[in-house]
Structure 1
Amino acid sequence: MERRNRQDLFSFATPYVAVAPDCSNGIFLDSGGMSADYSNSETITYTLMPYMPGNAVSVNFTAFSTENIGATACYDGLTIHNGADASAPTMDLPGGGTIWCWDEDDTVPGGTGDLEGMTITSTDASGALTFVFTSDGSATREGWEAIVTCATLSTADFDNSLAFTYYPNPVNDNLVIKAQKDIESISVYNMLGQELQRSTPNSINADVHMSSLQTGAYFVKITIGNATETIRVIKK
């Protein structure tokens, strides 16, 4: 499958991946495409911009493999920015750090964070996501494949106090929540409605520790100011 190339849809000069006007499934691939590895010594910035104003890009990774340095660092990796360029805030790893890598060629796959199965959605007013990929001078991997879709992002979504980003989902250990204003409280409930844990971060960033929870689905209720929203999270 060839990567879509719709230059007529965009006015900015940085590398990008086109999103179809009807927001039907687009494909986001590394430079090697569907059948080859990415290359050595790459530094590429991909900006995914929705065609229609008021839409937001979502990226669902169906495969991800880049060269790691053990479990804590990367030879090759992706940095994800919530916005239209690399100056936008980063979507950091649950354990800290900004560069995502996961090496499927290891005997036991590992790295700083596995994007496969994750969906990243922009909460920026532009509706865009920016990915910066870097690789060192030796050894390459298969890279990534992802499905790109769009959803309506109303003015209220990015202007009100409740706008926030959360990831990863599914989650192994920590769920990361990043908001525009201080998060007053976070509660985790099982499917029976029983509250399992509660925290009061009073910060724009918070980690929800879920490693002790059993595999399954949970509801996470987030309160920011006078507004509350509940999200559904899958614990691996």
Structure 2
Amino acid sequence: MSTDCTICSNLVSTVQTTSISETSATITWNDFGTTASWQISVRPFSATTSVWNTVSQASYQATGLLSNTYYRVRIRPNCTTPSSQIKEFVFATSGNYCGGMPFYDTGGATGSYTNNEAFTRTITPNVANKKITATFTQFSVESDYDYLFIYDGPNDSYPEMNFGNGFTGTVSPGTITSTAPDGSLTFKFESDFTETDLGWTATIGCVNMLGVDSNDYIDFTYYPNPTTHHVVLKANTTFTKIEVYNVAGQKLFSQTLDALETNVNLSQFAAGTYFFKVQFGDKEKNFKILKL
């Protein structure tokens, strides 16, 4: 094991999870110490034991995960005497959002969430031209101490659905529908150090984007998704323009064309989620691509 961390202080910070799919996720972090390697554990939230893996760079590819499941990430410096200081982070794998997916707190369908939780989960449609809707059928968190914030977009810089106050107590959010360009909703939950409750039960689904109906149907395909390089687009109606945006809404690519088939090269893009806006004359379609 490494011998360069004599005191073995855990100076890990800024843990992030990207490229989240139903079965995998990329985890990265910063370390302000002199640690040359780390031990990391990725386990289901309800699991009671940790399996540690040693890595020599501040990143880890978690694979073999379960769909729509919360996971605990635990990181510590790899020292001769393992540090008792463990940095912990919570994330959830994606799921079939447009297929009526159940959405719970970390306690699942029948359990309670735990103290000192803080996690953010962004849900984006997995079907083109859709927007996310969340229908809550049960909601109960510690009033005025624990909060669920719901943002109308892909991160917490977008408008909060309860005017910045979040949802607390037993007043249910009801049905929340995204109005963001990418159709996403972001959920941020925070609990304090005392008292827990049953949390929430909800169903995630998808509805049509405004103006998209059966009379606006266009037959087109795009693949592969996820991708490491190119995205191929084919249609029975002429493509006239393609634009690509990152999760912050910045336009990274724009192409005007007149073709039934084209491809977009993402090989120079960083790993992450990108949003495609495709125009067919006066009609527009939107979808997301995961770049590995």
With normalisation by structure 1, the TM-score equals 0.50
> Rg bigger for which structure?
2
With normalisation by structure 2, the TM-score equals 0.41
Greater RCO structure (CA 8 Å; 6+ sep): 1
